[in-house]
Every structure is written in C-alpha cells, then in structure tokens.
Amino acid sequence: MPLLVKSYNVTRMAPRVLSGQSFDVKLLEGILPPAPTLDSCQASLASAEAIVHLRLFELATASVDRQLISERTRSLREAIRRALGCGPTQPFLWFILYWLEATENGLNEKALQYLRMSYLLGPNEGWISVKRNGFSLAIYDQLPSDVAARVVTEFASLVSSGFHAQAAANLSGPGWSRREILVPALAPVSETRKYEFSKYLRAEGRYLDIPGLAPIERRPWN
C-alpha cells in the first residue's frame, strides 16, 4: 500500500478507533506507515498512529502472549513519544504516557509530571475526562495538591457536562472515600445538572445531599 494512502487511512481511522469501533488486528497493522523521520514530522499523522498503536496494545493485553504485550507496549510508547515530539499539546497522549509509566514503574515523579501535563493541556475536554478522572481519583491521596485540585474540578465538570453515569461511577467507586470533597465541588454546577445527577445517584441507591438542592428525604427503607 503506498505511503500516502496509508497516511490517509490511519488519519481517517483514528477517530473511529477512539469512538470504540472494533477493527481486525491485521487491518490496523496494515494501515500503519513506517515511523516518520525527524524531518517529516506531521503532528496529526503522528497522533493518529499513536491512537492505532494504543488499540493494538489494548487488543494484545487480552491475550496471554507476554512477548506480544511487551512488543505492543514498546511500540505504543515510541509512537506516543514521536507524536508528542511533533505536537506536545495533546493531553490524551500525555495521559496514556502517564498510565504506561505508572503501570511499569509505579507512581513516580515522572508519571506525575505526565499526568500534570495532561491536566494542564486539557482540563475541560469531556471525552478525556471520562477516561482520566476515575484513574486519578484512585490515586487521589498520592497526588500533589495542584493535580488533586484539578481532579476535583474535573469531577464537577463531568456532572456539568451531563456525564452522569461516569461521574456517579467515579464517586461511588474510587472517589467514595473523598465524597466530602467531591460533593461540595458541585456547588457551581447548574441546578438542572445537579438535579439530574442526584436523580441518577438515587437510582443507583446513593442518597447524598447536593449543595443547592433541597435535602433528600430519607425513608426508613433507604
């Protein structure tokens, strides 16, 4: 397949990969062009390649082939570094780089800096927040104060943007021990969104008083 055709295909395919569409491994491998050289750096293409490598990595982790997982991990890390070298203002790729570093080497200073970069460059991008907030809440107590504050703001932003299912899962799961911080952060959110979120929580069996809403009447069977 000619290089220009591959470049077109991988750029066109990446958004569909991010949206969750399924693709055959051979198809994804076939559309990847050779690694770009330093003098042909194209940020959009490099980013698209990193996304395809991410899906190949995800597919590999479902197998028991450790060598394949190791190869996909290495390829993904290299693809992300190439993409960030071409265009460093990509918060999702910084988040994936954080996840790789933390998974392999623990929550070290390098990993925290990658996470900080993700928040600095993309504090209010809903589709990133949906993936990032739960991971961050799970390590909330280990985060520097500036990053922790952004995680709380991000949680409120999820509610404000109508991502009630994900926000509720994050609150009920990794954020439950920090609900006394997360729930008050909802004060600036519109009354409509807070009501919708409170209703969603009640449907899940969680009865919490949300700032700005009337206290929930707790019946004996609740």
Task: Write out pLDDT tens, residues 16-49.
Answer: 888 788 888 888 888 787 655 445 678 888 899 9
Q: Which of 47, 67, 88 is the last residue of a domain?
A: 88
pTM score: 0.86
- Please tell me the predicted confidence (pLDDT) of residue 38: 47
Q: Which are the contacts of 197, defined by CB distance < 8 A and separation ≥ 6?
A: 159, 164, 167, 168, 186, 189, 210
- Please tell me the predicted confidence (pLDDT) of residue 4: 44
Q: What is the pLDDT of residues 105-142, one digit of tens each?
A: 999 999 999 999 999 999 988 889 999 999 999 999 99
Q: Using CA atoms, how far apart are residues 120 and 90, in angstroms rounded to an integer?
A: 10
Kindly tell me if the per-residue pLDDT of 221 is higher than 90: no
Q: Which are the contacts of 39, defined by CB distance < 8 A and separation ≥ 6?
A: none
Give the range of the structural domain holding residue 125, as residue numbers without chain letter. Answer: 119-222
Question: Which region among 19-23, 49-53, 164-168 has the lowest average model confidence (pLDDT)?
Answer: 19-23
Clarify whether residues 58 and 129 are in a common domain: no
What's the mean pLDDT in 1-22? Answer: 69
* Average pLDDT along the chain: 89
Q: Which of 88, 105, 128 is the last residue of a domain?
A: 88
Half-sphere exposure of 111 (CA within 13 A, CB side): 16
Residue 37 belongs to some domain of the structure: yes
Token pair listed for 130:
């949906």
Q: List alpha helices for 19-162, DSSP H.
A: 25-31, 43-61, 66-86, 91-105, 109-121, 126-138, 145-160
Clarify whether residues 12 and 82 are in a common domain: yes
Q: What share of the chain is helix, strand, coil (3-state, %, to 5)?
A: 70, 0, 30
What's the mean pLDDT in 68-82? Answer: 94
- Please tell me the predicted confidence (pLDDT) of residue 34: 67
CB 100 within 8 A of CB 125: no
What's the mean pLDDT in 189-217? Answer: 92
- Please tell me the predicted confidence (pLDDT) of residue 218: 62
Q: Which of 70, 88, 106 is the last residue of a domain?
A: 88
Counted domains in the chain: 2
Clarify whether residues 221 and 123 are in a common domain: yes
Clarify whether residues 81 and 133 are in a common domain: no
